[in-house]
A and B are shown apart, each in its own frame.
Chain A
């Protein structure tokens, strides 16, 4: 470990690097860590909240959830959020889910399907739709299953999410190694629930793994 503080004011190469918009400095966020804490929305899992710099899901940001297969329980992660949103009357839009969400089950989990819209679109139009929904402040949550997405596309969606102050959650199988999403989680099924690995959380160096029990709502 060494500090770059004494040299970065003198070295022009370093200075130009620091002005690159795609580069964040963890120390800048760490300094304002306390201001970060109340910006999130609780995930509904206290152990997961504790690992995240926002104490929950970030607002106005993009989240990637990476799973090896659909249906291993990844929807468990967002059900508490949907329930909370439903109580506030917020709208959520689902883009190209692998199957049709089953309204009676959602209703039984305390989620009002009246505020939930499903959009199906060909792959070429899907990213356009996701971007429009993320930019719209009327839409509180976007869940999307977009298939393969490039690094540049993720960055564009991240910008859209921060413009509309909308939380966007992308469900992916494999994801590019680099990503500008604010939060990346890898979810795997475990014996008694889910293993959630925090691959990246903006403003935090921690890479932790949490075991979540499968709730029976």
Chain B
């Protein structure tokens, strides 16, 4: 059974589906299986003639780049072919997405929402073939074709007009005058004669289409900075109405993050006003975010605390500091709820709540307690130098008890007739504990600490200066 060709039913040109031009059944010699590594690549081209209607080339390029960003979810190699097309390598993604037809569905699902949002027709031309040049040619000509094998390229391309090649006007005219209308006509002529008449550039294009010469493909690299904006048709007042726009921007951001396997720690949303400077909302996250819902919650919370000075006519979302996305740990399915919770316990689990509190109350509102091995009571509660997350907090083996509450600064104790007063007369319970430290730093701590009780039952940590004015201070409350 060698080389049996069969023709699949060809669909009409205006139906936006791919036709299989000619599919070989695998050419199998007995005892020999085709190796996957030798399969030719498949280049999937998408032509969007509706983009040509946009007069501004920069805006067009920006739109094409946005579309390319979406396509990066389908393939590792996406190329932007200005002015109106995109090409991506589909062979490596075929198995993952379950075949070319499923890939086509994904492609449509990714691109159509964007196109409809821009108010453009949602249909586009698409073609796939072993060479990027041929795919582009087919797609731009509106032939929704799927060509699997290189040998079939000639017949598939033969129907196209020679005018679909990118050639200077003079060359086009020359071809037309020679009576060459279709590529099929060109292929009937000897190659070296063609080269002499129409130039090597022309010949090279044909060779690239047929795969005789490799086509360099410049893979699209999305910018490391995320910057996306929306302009409203009319100014919007109030926070609530901004939410759909924020959702859209965050959706773009998340597509961006997923495509690069990144997560972000910092967002900046600027709300543009007609005649005033933009309102900036900077969001620092405790926990790197990759999915839309938590980010949206944070932004909405922050927005709810703002009073906008003027109606908003546009917004822009920027993110430029990224981290590699880290997949969180999930409890094993079989574990009980308690064990599952224990596996997930700790800082990572509570991060969304803390992020939410921070978004509304301000970045300084939430803090965790710090600890340092130092004899000076104030410094022992200051941040550990270096990475606080590494290992258990350093401690000193303390002989005496420390109070659970430490006053922000020691409070001078009043004295009356030799009696110390703090909401009543104080009685010393235990002490002294002598603390002498920091003599090398010029801020010497030289104190005798006592535990005292007042008539209300408060147990206080008080100290007596050993030098200078020998004053008494209260420094902490036990519990």
List chain A positions with a Cβ less than 8 A from chain B. Answer: 68-76, 79, 88-91, 93, 97-109, 112-121, 125, 128-129, 132-133, 136, 138-139, 188-190, 216-217
Interchain CB contact (< 8 A) of B353 among A113, A138, A188: A138
Contacts of B357 in A (CB 8 A): 119, 121, 129, 132-133
- Contact in complex: A119, B456 (CB < 8 Å): no
Q: Closest residue to A74 on the B side, CB-wise? A: B479
Total A-B contacts with CB atoms under 8 angstroms apart: 151
User: With the chains together, A190 CA to B396 CA distance in Å?
Assistant: 32
Q: Closest residue to A136 on the B side, CB-wise? A: B353
Which 7 pairs across A and B sit closest by C-beta, in order of nearness?
A189-B457, A105-B402, A89-B345, A71-B477, A113-B369, A75-B479, A102-B406
B431 within 8 A of A: no
User: With the chains together, A189 CA to B456 CA distance in Å?
Assistant: 7
User: With the chains together, A120 CA to B368 CA distance in Å?
Assistant: 11
- Contact in complex: A102, B476 (CB < 8 Å): yes
Decide yes or no: A104 and B350 within 8 Å by CB, A70-B477, A71-B458, A129-B361 being known contacts. no
User: With the chains together, A48 CA to B228 CA distance in Å?
Assistant: 59
- Contact in complex: A105, B345 (CB < 8 Å): no
- Contact in complex: A99, B405 (CB < 8 Å): yes
- Contact in complex: A104, B345 (CB < 8 Å): no
User: With the chains together, A138 CA to B345 CA distance in Å?
Assistant: 8
| Interface size of B as a range | 35 or more
Decide yes or no: A132 and B353 within 8 Å by CB, A68-B456, A104-B395, A189-B458 being known contacts. yes
User: With the chains together, A217 CA to B398 CA distance in Å?
Assistant: 12
Contacts of A129 in B (CB 8 A): 357, 360-361
Contacts of A113 in B (CB 8 A): 368-371, 393
Interchain CB contact (< 8 A) of B368 among A102, A108, A114, A133: A114
B119 within 8 A of A: no
List chain B positions with a Cβ less than 8 A from chain A. Answer: 342, 345-347, 349-350, 352-354, 356-357, 360-361, 365-371, 377, 380-381, 392-393, 395-396, 398, 401-408, 423, 456-460, 476-479
- Contact in complex: A116, B368 (CB < 8 Å): yes
Q: Closest residue to A102 on the B side, CB-wise? A: B406
Contacts of B350 in A (CB 8 A): 91, 93, 117, 136, 138-139
Tell me, rounded to whole Å, the shortest Cβ–Cβ distance linking A131 to chain B. Answer: 11
Tell me, rounded to whole Å, the shortest Cβ–Cβ distance linking B331 to chain A. Answer: 13
- Contact in complex: B456, A99 (CB < 8 Å): no
- Contact in complex: B408, A100 (CB < 8 Å): yes
User: With the chains together, A107 CA to B360 CA distance in Å?
Assistant: 30
Interface SS of chain A: mixed
Contacts of B396 in A (CB 8 A): 104
Question: What are 6 sample pairs from A and B whose C-beta atoms fall under 8 A apart?
Answer: A72-B457, A98-B405, A113-B368, A118-B368, A132-B357, A138-B353
Contacts of A79 in B (CB 8 A): 404, 479
- Contact in complex: B365, A120 (CB < 8 Å): yes
Contacts of A100 in B (CB 8 A): 381, 405-406, 408
- Contact in complex: A105, B404 (CB < 8 Å): yes
User: With the chains together, A157 CA to B360 CA distance in Å?
Assistant: 19
Q: Closest residue to A118 on the B side, CB-wise? A: B367
User: With the chains together, A119 CA to B363 CA distance in Å?
Assistant: 10
Interchain CB contact (< 8 A) of A108 among B346, B370, B392, B398: B398
User: With the chains together, A72 CA to B404 CA distance in Å?
Assistant: 12
- Contact in complex: B345, A88 (CB < 8 Å): yes
Tell me, rounded to whole Å, the shortest Cβ–Cβ distance linking B365 to chain A. Answer: 6
- Contact in complex: A103, B393 (CB < 8 Å): yes
Tell me, rounded to whole Å, the shortest Cβ–Cβ distance linking A169 to chain B. Answer: 14
- Contact in complex: A99, B370 (CB < 8 Å): no
Tell me, rounded to whole Å, the shortest Cβ–Cβ distance linking B291 to chain A. Answer: 16
Contacts of A125 in B (CB 8 A): 360-361
Tell me, rounded to whole Å, the shortest Cβ–Cβ distance linking B426 to chain A. Answer: 13
Interchain CB contact (< 8 A) of B479 among A76, A90, A138: A76
Contacts of B395 in A (CB 8 A): 104, 107-108
- Contact in complex: A104, B402 (CB < 8 Å): yes
Contacts of B371 in A (CB 8 A): 103-104, 107, 113
Tell me, rounded to whole Å, the shortest Cβ–Cβ distance linking B355 to chain A. Answer: 11
Contacts of B352 in A (CB 8 A): 136, 138
Interchain CB contact (< 8 A) of B349 among A72, A91, A108: A91
Tell me, rounded to whole Å, the shortest Cβ–Cβ distance linking A171 to chain B. Answer: 12
Decide yes or no: A99 and B406 within 8 Å by CB, A73-B459, A136-B350 being known contacts. yes
